[in-house]
Every structure is written in C-alpha cells, then in structure tokens.
Chain A
Amino acid sequence: MITISDYEITVLLLSLKVASISSIIAFFPSLLIAYFLARKNFIGKSFVDGLIHLPLVLPPVVIGFFLLIIFGKNGLVGDIFFSTFNIRISFTWIAAVIASAVMGFPLFVRSIRQSISEIDPKQIEAAQTLGANKLKIFKKIIIPLSKKGIITGFILSFSRSLGEFGATITFAGNIFGETQTLPLAIYSSLQDPDSNLIVIRLVVISIFISLAALMISNRLSK
C-alpha cells in the first residue's frame, strides 16, 4: 500500500492552490489582451506583443527580481500595501500566486488569441447588422467560439505554474507550508544527502500530476 506523507500532502495541496488561483487571476487580463491583439490594430502593437511575451523568454529569476522590486516590502507597490494596509506580499503564498500568474500569462494570451483570430469575421459582422452591441458580441460569439483556446490556456498556465521555480524562489522564497511548491520541495530535498527517497517520491507525484493535467486538457479540448 502506497501512502502519501503529511509533508507531501502539504506541498501538493499548496501547489494545486497556487496553480489554480494564479490561472484564474491570469484569465481575465489574458482574455482582454488576447482579444485586442487578435482583433484590433493599434500603434505599438508589436511592442505590446513583445512585452507580453517577455516572461516566456526572460530567465524566470529575472521576473522574480522585477517582482521583488515592485511588490517587495520596500518596492514600488509593495511599500504602499505595507504602509497603508499593513499587508506583506513578498514571501507569502500570494507572492507565489503572483509569480505563477505572471509566468503563465503569455501562454494564456497566446492560446486564447489563436482561437479568437480563427473566428470567422463574417459571424461578427452578421451579429453587428442584427444590432448586437460590442459587449454582447464578446459574450455571445467571441467567448463561446474561443472556448477551446481558453481551456488550453487554463491547462497550460496551470501546468506552467506547477513547474514554476525561478521567479517563485526569488520573490516568494522557499517556506514550507507557505510558498514551498512541488519544484521547490524537490530542490530542497536535492540539497539534502539523506532525502534521496523523498526526491524520487516527489518527482513521481509531479510527473503524475502534469500527465493528468495534459490528459484532461486533451479530453476537454476535443
């Protein structure tokens, strides 16, 4: 009988919590930006496009550094939160969520954008001639027809978040029960000569979850 230890359950639940909340947070801005990138032309579009893709190409630790500068206790935004609301962002699970959301964001935008640009413009024109306003078109045509991209985006950003390491360890630290997600737990155990077995167990759990996420996404996007 294979049993999962309390330690593994804590790590696993935290990883799932961070991954799901960060994907949900990343969803709304991704949808809007994907819509504008797919349907509108504006000055500086390629710049915005590049900016959005930065988390995909920059070393994750650089993103972690930027987040620390912005949301750290003395950071640009973090300072306001800390001095007015007495809320600390860096080194809490919220920091892990922010790091994951930022890293998953470009993947989310890419897949939704792909779906939106595949929508036949004639359908939107038809809706317009029939008197539908922009909001209605967005709700009744754009979203339903890009469902596939939205689901793929969810799964991609969810999986990215499960694997997020560099930005998280820089910005959220490696605090057990607070910010120690699966990859961080594996990293910690790799540092410890007596934890070889724990490493293998965590690796198996991580493979199992990622594979499950991919299979669910294949099933859903059919």
Chain B
Amino acid sequence: MIILNSLNSIIFKNYLTIIFGFFILFSQALKANENIYIGYASSLHNAMKEIVNDYEKRSDVKLKFGMGASGNIAQQIMRDAPYDIFISANKKWINYLDKHQKIKERQPWISNSLSVIGSMKSIENLTLNANERFCLADPKNAPLGLYSLEAINTLNLKIPDNQIIFLKDAASVQYYLSINECDYAITYSSNILNLEKNVDVQSLPLNLYSDITYEIGILKSNKDTKDFVNYLQQPSVLKILKNHGFIID
C-alpha cells in the first residue's frame, strides 16, 4: 500500500515530465530516416512479403509497406501519406498521381490475368440463384474491379445488383473466398494458388478485358528508392513473381 501510494505521488508530481518524456521518446521513434515506405496493390501482397524479406537480408534499408486497393493508396498519397514508392495494378492511378505532379519517375512492371471462381459449366451462360452472391472488387478503387467489370460487360453477363458483393480490394476478395462466403468471384490468376483444391477455377480469356499491367511510380527520388526499384526488375525477383502466378513479359 505504502509503495503504491508513493508511486502514485511520484507519478502525480512528475506528471508533466512524464508526458514530456513520452513525447521525446516517441518523436525519436517517428524520425525514421533509413526507411522506405512502399504502397502497393493488395494483389502483390504474398509475393511482396517474400521480396521484402529477401531485400532486407541484403540491404540496411528498412522497408515499410502499406497495401490496399491501388486507388485507395493513390488517394492516401494525395492526402500526403509518406510513401516513397507506389506500385499500382493499373496505369490509371499512376496517371492520376502523375497529373497532380506526385510522380518523379515511372516504369511498367509485370502483368496478370483474371480467373473466375465458382461451379459453372461456362461463364457465358451463368445464371445466379436468388441466394447466391458474386464477389467482385470495388471498381471505384480496385483495378481488379475495373478489369472484372470489363470482362462481365464483354460477356454481357447479367448479375442483379443486390447479388454482387463489392469488396474493397483483391486481398479481401481472396479472404472472403477463403471463408466460402462467395459463390462466384472474379480475381487475379495470381491469387488463386492458395485457394483450396476443391474450388472450381477457370481462367478468363485475355481478350475479354484490357491488359493488366502493374506500374511502379517513384514518389521520392533518391539512391535508396532507386536501388529498390532496380532490385524489383532483377531476374531473381521476377522469378519469385512468376512462381506466384504473375505474368513476366
């Protein structure tokens, strides 16, 4: 009791000092000069984890990353999120940042393709029962959603609005597929590798949608970011991506 009381009074008397101390402590932690911040399309997540691990083994630079729908990250950047490198799953969101003078340098990267998931004879004559749901990425922000809608429109599929579940990005389509919440879904072919074996997957013909090209945008041009972007184009990295199901041109 006495110890507790004296502890209490110490904390009470030095309240301001303690707050100030914490402030100094955390402001030091916030000053991270050696970090590169990378924002990338969520479809890259599994591959990126591997790539980042590999890179940190050979370099002193720490990589910090945020992922989401490409459009989502682009808008975070517009609101001054501190990303140094941005990898988008289409050109649109790099163009958007370019238009606002946020991009110092840009280069095309890898490609991808679409697959449709769900039991069906063929996607052309797919009809949904009333309680079935079709999961798509939200075309507002997720490039996957735009590509998927292109394919759906080319095929002239009719899916009632209230049976579509729009999910925020490719990663959440992946997640909701993994818990069997979607009867049907369109997702990247690079994302179907970790699905369960008994799931029906068909790849969608490439002529149904426009080319899926990932593009790298450098937002802060310095040696560290350039080194990392150069590294991303190395054959060893491209091999990792190929193993994850991406298309290397």
A interface residues with partner B (beta carbon < 8 Å): 68, 72-74, 82, 86-88, 90-91, 173-178, 188, 191-193
A191 touches B162 (CB 8 A): no
Residues of A within 8 A of B167 (CB): 173
Please give the distance in Å from A216's CB to the nearest CB on chain B. 32
State which size class the interface on B falls in: 20 to 34
Q: Using CB atoms, name the residue of chain B closest to A90.
A: B181
Select which of A82, A87, A91, A176 is within 8 A of B161 by beta carbon. A176
B131→A193 contact, CB < 8 A:
no
Contact among A87, A174, A191 for B71, CB-based, below 8 A = A191
Q: Quick one: which of B71, B165, B181 contacts A175, CB cutoff 8 A?
A: B165
* Interchain CB contact under 8 A, A86 and B96: no
- Nearest-neighbour CB distance to chain A for B41, whole angstroms, equals 15
User: Which residue of B69, B71, B162 contacts A178 across the interface (Cβ within 8 Å)?
Assistant: B162
B141 contacts chain A at the CB level, 8 A cutoff: yes
B66 to chain A, nearest CB (A): 15
Interface membership of chain B positions 165-202, coded 1 if the CB is closer than 8 angstroms to chain A and 0 otherwise: 11110000000000111000000000000000000000
- Kindly list chain B residues whose C-beta atoms are within 8 Å of the C-beta of A178: 162
Q: How far is the CB of A76 from chain B (nearest CB, A)?
A: 12
How near does chain B come to A138, taking the closest CB pair, in angstroms? 40
Asked if A173 and B131 sit within 8 Å, CB to CB, the answer is no
Residues of B within 8 A of A90 (CB): 181
Which residues of chain A are near B180, meaning CB under 8 Å? 72-74
Q: Which of B75, B133, B141 contacts A88 (CB 8 A)?
A: B133
19 CB-based A-B contacts, threshold 8 Å: A68-B179, A73-B180, A74-B179, A74-B180, A88-B131, A90-B181, A173-B166, A174-B138, A175-B164, A175-B166, A177-B162, A191-B69, A191-B71, A191-B72, A191-B75, A191-B140, A191-B141, A192-B140, A193-B75
